[in-house]
A and B are shown apart, each in its own frame.
Chain A
Amino acid sequence: MGREDHDPERLSTEEVGRALEEMEAADWKRAERYARIAAHGLQGMDGEDLLNQACTLLLAGNRRFPRGKKPVRVLRNAVRSIASNARVAGWGAHTDGDVLVEPEHDNEDADLSDDAPRRLAPAARNAITPEVEALAREEFEAVMALLKGDGADNEVLEAWACGMRGAEVMEITGLSATDYDAARKRLGRKIDSLTSEGRKS
Protein backbone atom coordinates (compact mmCIF):
# COMPACT_ATOMS: atom_id res chain seq x y z
CA MET A 1 0.00 0.00 0.00
CA GLY A 2 1.32 3.43 -0.80
CA ARG A 3 4.17 1.98 -2.80
CA GLU A 4 3.28 4.27 -5.69
CA ASP A 5 4.57 7.19 -3.60
CA HIS A 6 8.12 5.92 -4.10
CA ASP A 7 7.94 4.74 -7.69
CA PRO A 8 7.75 7.33 -10.46
CA GLU A 9 7.25 4.57 -13.02
CA ARG A 10 3.80 3.73 -11.71
CA LEU A 11 0.65 5.83 -11.68
CA SER A 12 -0.57 7.24 -8.39
CA THR A 13 -3.96 6.01 -7.26
CA GLU A 14 -5.53 9.30 -8.41
CA GLU A 15 -3.95 8.87 -11.84
CA VAL A 16 -5.18 5.27 -11.97
CA GLY A 17 -8.71 6.52 -11.32
CA ARG A 18 -8.47 9.08 -14.11
CA ALA A 19 -6.93 6.60 -16.56
CA LEU A 20 -9.76 4.13 -15.99
CA GLU A 21 -12.41 6.85 -16.16
CA GLU A 22 -11.01 8.03 -19.47
CA MET A 23 -10.74 4.56 -20.98
CA GLU A 24 -12.79 4.37 -24.15
CA ALA A 25 -16.05 2.46 -24.31
CA ALA A 26 -14.71 0.01 -26.90
CA ASP A 27 -11.77 -0.81 -24.62
CA TRP A 28 -14.13 -1.40 -21.70
CA LYS A 29 -16.07 -3.74 -23.94
CA ARG A 30 -12.83 -5.53 -24.88
CA ALA A 31 -12.02 -5.91 -21.18
CA GLU A 32 -15.54 -7.21 -20.49
CA ARG A 33 -15.34 -9.76 -23.28
CA TYR A 34 -11.92 -10.92 -22.18
CA ALA A 35 -12.98 -11.17 -18.52
CA ARG A 36 -16.03 -13.19 -19.49
CA ILE A 37 -14.01 -15.89 -21.18
CA ALA A 38 -11.21 -15.74 -18.59
CA ALA A 39 -13.82 -16.47 -15.91
CA HIS A 40 -15.03 -19.60 -17.61
CA GLY A 41 -14.84 -22.56 -15.25
CA LEU A 42 -14.07 -20.45 -12.19
CA GLN A 43 -16.02 -21.33 -9.10
CA GLY A 44 -18.14 -18.50 -7.77
CA MET A 45 -16.64 -15.83 -10.03
CA ASP A 46 -17.86 -14.36 -13.28
CA GLY A 47 -16.29 -11.87 -15.66
CA GLU A 48 -17.80 -8.93 -13.81
CA ASP A 49 -16.28 -10.17 -10.55
CA LEU A 50 -12.87 -10.38 -12.21
CA LEU A 51 -13.16 -6.85 -13.61
CA ASN A 52 -14.35 -5.46 -10.27
CA GLN A 53 -11.49 -7.10 -8.44
CA ALA A 54 -8.93 -5.93 -11.00
CA CYS A 55 -10.19 -2.32 -10.76
CA THR A 56 -10.21 -2.51 -6.97
CA LEU A 57 -6.63 -3.76 -6.72
CA LEU A 58 -5.42 -1.12 -9.17
CA LEU A 59 -7.30 1.70 -7.43
CA ALA A 60 -6.09 0.58 -4.00
CA GLY A 61 -2.50 0.55 -5.24
CA ASN A 62 -2.19 -3.15 -4.46
CA ARG A 63 -1.43 -3.80 -8.07
CA ARG A 64 1.00 -1.81 -10.15
CA PHE A 65 -0.30 0.42 -12.96
CA PRO A 66 2.83 1.23 -15.02
CA ARG A 67 3.11 4.70 -16.44
CA GLY A 68 2.74 4.87 -20.23
CA LYS A 69 0.91 1.55 -20.63
CA LYS A 70 -2.49 1.30 -22.30
CA PRO A 71 -5.10 1.07 -19.53
CA VAL A 72 -6.96 -1.75 -21.26
CA ARG A 73 -3.80 -3.87 -21.28
CA VAL A 74 -3.05 -3.14 -17.63
CA LEU A 75 -6.62 -4.06 -16.76
CA ARG A 76 -6.40 -7.18 -18.87
CA ASN A 77 -3.15 -8.24 -17.16
CA ALA A 78 -4.79 -7.83 -13.76
CA VAL A 79 -7.82 -9.87 -14.84
CA ARG A 80 -5.58 -12.54 -16.29
CA SER A 81 -3.55 -12.87 -13.13
CA ILE A 82 -6.59 -13.00 -10.83
CA ALA A 83 -8.28 -15.59 -13.06
CA SER A 84 -5.18 -17.79 -13.33
CA ASN A 85 -4.66 -17.83 -9.60
CA ALA A 86 -8.32 -18.45 -8.86
CA ARG A 87 -8.46 -21.26 -11.39
CA VAL A 88 -5.44 -23.11 -10.03
CA ALA A 89 -6.41 -22.45 -6.42
CA GLY A 90 -9.84 -23.86 -7.19
CA TRP A 91 -8.19 -27.01 -8.45
CA GLY A 92 -6.39 -27.47 -5.17
CA ALA A 93 -2.89 -26.47 -6.24
CA HIS A 94 -0.78 -24.45 -3.86
CA THR A 95 1.33 -21.66 -5.31
CA ASP A 96 3.51 -19.19 -3.50
CA GLY A 97 3.55 -16.58 -6.27
CA ASP A 98 0.63 -14.35 -7.12
CA VAL A 99 0.93 -14.58 -10.87
CA LEU A 100 0.65 -17.95 -12.43
CA VAL A 101 1.68 -17.49 -16.02
CA GLU A 102 4.08 -14.83 -17.16
CA PRO A 103 5.70 -13.76 -20.39
CA GLU A 104 9.21 -15.14 -20.55
CA HIS A 105 10.89 -11.78 -20.59
CA ASP A 106 8.84 -9.61 -18.32
CA ASN A 107 6.54 -9.41 -15.36
CA GLU A 108 2.94 -8.35 -14.84
CA ASP A 109 3.49 -5.13 -16.75
CA ALA A 110 4.40 -6.79 -20.01
CA ASP A 111 2.96 -5.39 -23.17
CA LEU A 112 0.72 -8.26 -24.15
CA SER A 113 0.29 -7.22 -27.73
CA ASP A 114 3.61 -8.81 -28.55
CA ASP A 115 4.01 -12.44 -29.45
CA ALA A 116 6.28 -13.40 -26.62
CA PRO A 117 5.99 -17.07 -25.78
CA ARG A 118 4.50 -17.64 -22.38
CA ARG A 119 5.41 -20.13 -19.73
CA LEU A 120 4.40 -21.07 -16.27
CA ALA A 121 6.20 -19.35 -13.44
CA PRO A 122 8.56 -21.80 -11.69
CA ALA A 123 6.44 -21.80 -8.53
CA ALA A 124 3.40 -22.63 -10.60
CA ARG A 125 5.17 -25.43 -12.45
CA ASN A 126 5.89 -27.08 -9.12
CA ALA A 127 2.24 -26.72 -8.20
CA ILE A 128 0.96 -28.50 -11.31
CA THR A 129 0.25 -32.02 -10.22
CA PRO A 130 -1.06 -34.62 -12.68
CA GLU A 131 -4.52 -34.04 -11.18
CA VAL A 132 -4.31 -30.29 -11.81
CA GLU A 133 -3.06 -30.91 -15.34
CA ALA A 134 -6.00 -33.23 -15.97
CA LEU A 135 -8.40 -30.52 -14.80
CA ALA A 136 -6.57 -27.97 -16.97
CA ARG A 137 -7.03 -30.25 -19.98
CA GLU A 138 -10.71 -30.61 -19.16
CA GLU A 139 -11.09 -26.83 -18.91
CA PHE A 140 -9.11 -26.19 -22.09
CA GLU A 141 -11.25 -28.65 -24.01
CA ALA A 142 -14.42 -27.18 -22.52
CA VAL A 143 -13.50 -23.69 -23.72
CA MET A 144 -12.53 -25.03 -27.12
CA ALA A 145 -15.85 -26.89 -27.38
CA LEU A 146 -17.78 -23.75 -26.53
CA LEU A 147 -15.97 -21.73 -29.18
CA LYS A 148 -15.79 -24.31 -31.93
CA GLY A 149 -17.95 -23.93 -34.97
CA ASP A 150 -17.33 -24.69 -38.62
CA GLY A 151 -14.02 -25.88 -40.04
CA ALA A 152 -12.48 -22.45 -40.44
CA ASP A 153 -13.31 -21.41 -36.86
CA ASN A 154 -11.79 -24.59 -35.48
CA GLU A 155 -8.58 -24.12 -37.41
CA VAL A 156 -8.32 -20.54 -36.17
CA LEU A 157 -8.92 -21.65 -32.59
CA GLU A 158 -6.28 -24.35 -32.77
CA ALA A 159 -3.79 -21.91 -34.22
CA TRP A 160 -4.58 -19.42 -31.44
CA ALA A 161 -4.04 -22.11 -28.81
CA CYS A 162 -0.60 -22.71 -30.32
CA GLY A 163 0.24 -19.06 -29.76
CA MET A 164 -0.19 -17.91 -33.37
CA ARG A 165 -1.67 -14.55 -34.34
CA GLY A 166 -3.29 -12.80 -37.33
CA ALA A 167 -1.04 -13.07 -40.38
CA GLU A 168 0.51 -16.31 -39.22
CA VAL A 169 -2.90 -17.88 -38.69
CA MET A 170 -3.97 -16.85 -42.20
CA GLU A 171 -0.81 -18.35 -43.63
CA ILE A 172 -1.23 -21.65 -41.78
CA THR A 173 -4.97 -22.01 -42.40
CA GLY A 174 -4.99 -20.58 -45.92
CA LEU A 175 -7.81 -18.22 -44.98
CA SER A 176 -8.16 -14.90 -46.78
CA ALA A 177 -8.17 -11.71 -44.70
CA THR A 178 -11.93 -11.48 -45.23
CA ASP A 179 -12.55 -15.08 -44.14
CA TYR A 180 -10.25 -14.70 -41.16
CA ASP A 181 -12.05 -11.52 -40.16
CA ALA A 182 -15.39 -13.29 -40.41
CA ALA A 183 -14.13 -16.19 -38.27
CA ARG A 184 -12.82 -13.72 -35.72
CA LYS A 185 -16.19 -11.96 -35.54
CA ARG A 186 -18.04 -15.25 -35.12
CA LEU A 187 -15.68 -16.24 -32.33
CA GLY A 188 -16.11 -12.81 -30.75
CA ARG A 189 -19.87 -13.29 -30.66
CA LYS A 190 -19.42 -16.70 -29.06
CA ILE A 191 -17.17 -15.23 -26.40
CA ASP A 192 -19.92 -12.73 -25.69
CA SER A 193 -22.48 -15.47 -25.27
CA LEU A 194 -20.36 -17.42 -22.78
CA THR A 195 -21.63 -17.49 -19.25
CA SER A 196 -19.56 -18.09 -16.16
CA GLU A 197 -21.19 -21.47 -15.74
CA GLY A 198 -18.45 -23.93 -16.43
CA ARG A 199 -18.68 -27.62 -15.96
CA LYS A 200 -17.08 -27.36 -12.55
CA SER A 201 -19.24 -24.59 -11.12
Chain B
Amino acid sequence: MSGGTTSYLEQLDRLLDACFAELEKMPDADVLAGESVQSVKERAMKRLERARFAAGRLRLAAAKEKQKTVTPLRAISTAVSPGDARRYITRVAQDREHTLAARDLAEMSDEDVLRLYQQIRELEAEDSKRDDDTGPAS
Protein backbone atom coordinates (compact mmCIF):
# COMPACT_ATOMS: atom_id res chain seq x y z
CA MET B 1 0.00 0.00 0.00
CA SER B 2 2.77 2.41 0.66
CA GLY B 3 5.64 3.59 -1.47
CA GLY B 4 5.47 2.59 -5.10
CA THR B 5 2.77 -0.05 -4.80
CA THR B 6 -0.53 0.36 -6.55
CA SER B 7 -3.61 -0.11 -4.45
CA TYR B 8 -6.64 -2.01 -5.69
CA LEU B 9 -8.50 1.26 -5.41
CA GLU B 10 -6.13 2.76 -7.96
CA GLN B 11 -6.39 -0.29 -10.20
CA LEU B 12 -10.16 -0.05 -10.07
CA ASP B 13 -9.91 3.61 -10.95
CA ARG B 14 -7.58 2.90 -13.85
CA LEU B 15 -9.95 0.30 -15.17
CA LEU B 16 -12.80 2.81 -15.08
CA ASP B 17 -10.54 5.41 -16.72
CA ALA B 18 -9.76 2.97 -19.49
CA CYS B 19 -13.45 2.25 -20.04
CA PHE B 20 -14.11 5.93 -20.53
CA ALA B 21 -11.05 6.46 -22.72
CA GLU B 22 -12.22 3.62 -24.94
CA LEU B 23 -15.76 4.98 -25.00
CA GLU B 24 -14.36 8.29 -26.21
CA LYS B 25 -12.57 6.61 -29.07
CA MET B 26 -15.58 4.60 -30.15
CA PRO B 27 -17.52 5.98 -33.13
CA ASP B 28 -20.79 7.65 -32.14
CA ALA B 29 -22.85 4.99 -33.90
CA ASP B 30 -21.20 2.23 -31.87
CA VAL B 31 -21.67 4.13 -28.63
CA LEU B 32 -25.35 4.70 -29.37
CA ALA B 33 -25.67 0.98 -30.09
CA GLY B 34 -28.91 1.30 -32.01
CA GLU B 35 -30.61 3.81 -29.72
CA SER B 36 -31.90 6.90 -31.51
CA VAL B 37 -30.28 10.29 -30.97
CA GLN B 38 -33.68 11.70 -30.10
CA SER B 39 -34.31 9.14 -27.38
CA VAL B 40 -30.94 9.77 -25.70
CA LYS B 41 -31.42 13.56 -25.91
CA GLU B 42 -34.92 13.37 -24.43
CA ARG B 43 -33.56 11.41 -21.50
CA ALA B 44 -30.73 13.91 -21.08
CA MET B 45 -33.11 16.90 -21.12
CA LYS B 46 -35.29 15.28 -18.45
CA ARG B 47 -32.18 14.65 -16.40
CA LEU B 48 -31.13 18.28 -16.76
CA GLU B 49 -34.60 19.43 -15.76
CA ARG B 50 -34.36 17.41 -12.53
CA ALA B 51 -30.81 18.65 -11.93
CA ARG B 52 -31.85 22.29 -12.45
CA PHE B 53 -34.58 21.88 -9.87
CA ALA B 54 -32.17 20.27 -7.40
CA ALA B 55 -29.51 22.92 -8.12
CA GLY B 56 -32.09 25.64 -7.42
CA ARG B 57 -32.82 24.08 -4.05
CA LEU B 58 -29.11 23.90 -3.27
CA ARG B 59 -28.72 27.58 -4.07
CA LEU B 60 -31.77 28.47 -2.04
CA ALA B 61 -30.42 26.56 0.94
CA ALA B 62 -27.09 28.34 0.60
CA ALA B 63 -28.81 31.73 0.31
CA LYS B 64 -30.85 31.00 3.45
CA GLU B 65 -27.69 30.04 5.28
CA LYS B 66 -26.09 33.31 4.24
CA GLN B 67 -29.19 35.24 5.23
CA LYS B 68 -29.00 33.88 8.76
CA THR B 69 -25.90 35.95 9.41
CA VAL B 70 -27.46 39.14 8.00
CA THR B 71 -30.98 38.95 9.40
CA PRO B 72 -30.15 39.71 13.04
CA LEU B 73 -28.34 42.88 11.99
CA ARG B 74 -31.28 44.06 9.92
CA ALA B 75 -33.49 43.36 12.90
CA ILE B 76 -31.20 45.43 15.12
CA SER B 77 -31.21 48.40 12.77
CA THR B 78 -34.98 48.49 12.65
CA ALA B 79 -35.28 47.96 16.38
CA VAL B 80 -32.87 50.71 17.38
CA SER B 81 -34.03 54.32 17.60
CA PRO B 82 -32.14 57.08 15.73
CA GLY B 83 -31.21 58.57 19.12
CA ASP B 84 -29.70 55.30 20.37
CA ALA B 85 -27.93 54.85 17.06
CA ARG B 86 -26.40 58.35 17.37
CA ARG B 87 -25.16 57.61 20.87
CA TYR B 88 -23.69 54.26 19.76
CA ILE B 89 -21.91 55.85 16.80
CA THR B 90 -20.51 58.62 18.99
CA ARG B 91 -19.15 56.08 21.47
CA VAL B 92 -17.60 53.91 18.74
CA ALA B 93 -16.06 56.96 17.09
CA GLN B 94 -14.50 57.95 20.42
CA ASP B 95 -13.33 54.43 21.25
CA ARG B 96 -11.65 54.02 17.90
CA GLU B 97 -10.45 57.59 17.68
CA HIS B 98 -12.43 58.11 14.50
CA THR B 99 -12.86 61.71 13.48
CA LEU B 100 -16.58 62.15 13.32
CA ALA B 101 -17.52 65.60 14.49
CA ALA B 102 -20.56 65.82 16.73
CA ARG B 103 -21.92 68.45 14.38
CA ASP B 104 -21.69 66.04 11.41
CA LEU B 105 -23.64 63.42 13.27
CA ALA B 106 -26.20 65.96 14.39
CA GLU B 107 -26.72 67.12 10.84
CA MET B 108 -27.20 63.62 9.45
CA SER B 109 -30.74 62.52 8.76
CA ASP B 110 -32.19 59.71 10.88
CA GLU B 111 -32.07 57.48 7.84
CA ASP B 112 -28.36 58.15 7.28
CA VAL B 113 -27.60 57.59 10.94
CA LEU B 114 -29.37 54.24 10.88
CA ARG B 115 -27.53 53.30 7.68
CA LEU B 116 -24.18 54.20 9.27
CA TYR B 117 -25.16 52.28 12.39
CA GLN B 118 -26.00 49.27 10.25
CA GLN B 119 -22.66 49.45 8.46
CA ILE B 120 -20.73 49.66 11.72
CA ARG B 121 -22.58 46.66 13.16
CA GLU B 122 -21.95 44.65 10.00
CA LEU B 123 -18.24 45.47 10.10
CA GLU B 124 -18.13 44.49 13.74
CA ALA B 125 -19.84 41.20 12.94
CA GLU B 126 -17.33 40.52 10.16
CA ASP B 127 -14.42 41.32 12.49
CA SER B 128 -15.88 39.04 15.10
CA LYS B 129 -16.37 36.23 12.58
CA ARG B 130 -12.81 36.63 11.30
CA ASP B 131 -11.51 36.42 14.87
CA ASP B 132 -13.56 33.27 15.40
CA ASP B 133 -12.23 31.74 12.17
CA THR B 134 -8.61 32.48 12.90
CA GLY B 135 -8.85 31.56 16.55
CA PRO B 136 -6.91 33.12 19.38
CA ALA B 137 -3.49 34.50 18.56
CA SER B 138 -0.72 32.28 19.81
Contact = CB atoms under 8 A, between A and B. Distances in A.
A binds B: yes
Interface of A: 1, 13, 17, 20-21, 23-26, 28-30, 32-34, 37-38, 48, 51-52, 55-57, 59-62, 72, 76, 80, 84, 88, 100-101, 112-113, 118-120, 124-125, 128, 130, 132-133, 136-137, 139-140, 143-144, 157, 160-166, 184-185, 187-189, 191-192
Interface string B31-66: 111010110110111011011101110110011000
Interface residues of B, number: 47
Nearest to B63: A1
Contact of B30 (A38, A59, A88, A185): A185
A1 B10 contact: no
Contact of B47 (A1, A51, A130, A161): A51
Given A30-B20, A48-B47, 11 more contacts: A21-B45, A25-B37, A28-B43, A33-B19, A38-B16, A55-B47, A56-B58, A60-B56, A113-B21, A120-B7, A140-B8
A73 B119 CA distance: 45
B20 A76 contact: yes
A46 B8 CA distance: 21
B70 interface: no
B23 interface: yes
Residues of A contacting B: mostly: helix
A166 B25 contact: yes
Contacts, number: 165
A25 B38 CA distance: 8
Contacts of A48: 47
Given A133-B8, A144-B15, A187-B22, A52 B28 contact: no
B38 to A, nearest CB: 8
B127 interface: no
A149 to B, nearest CB: 14
A163 B55 contact: no
Contacts of A23: 44
B14 A163 contact: yes
A26 B28 contact: yes
Contact of A56 (B23, B35, B55, B63): B55
B16 A140 contact: no
A140 B15 contact: yes
A162 B14 contact: yes
Nearest to B28: A26
A136 B51 contact: no
A88 B18 CA distance: 20
B51 A56 contact: yes
A118 B26 contact: no
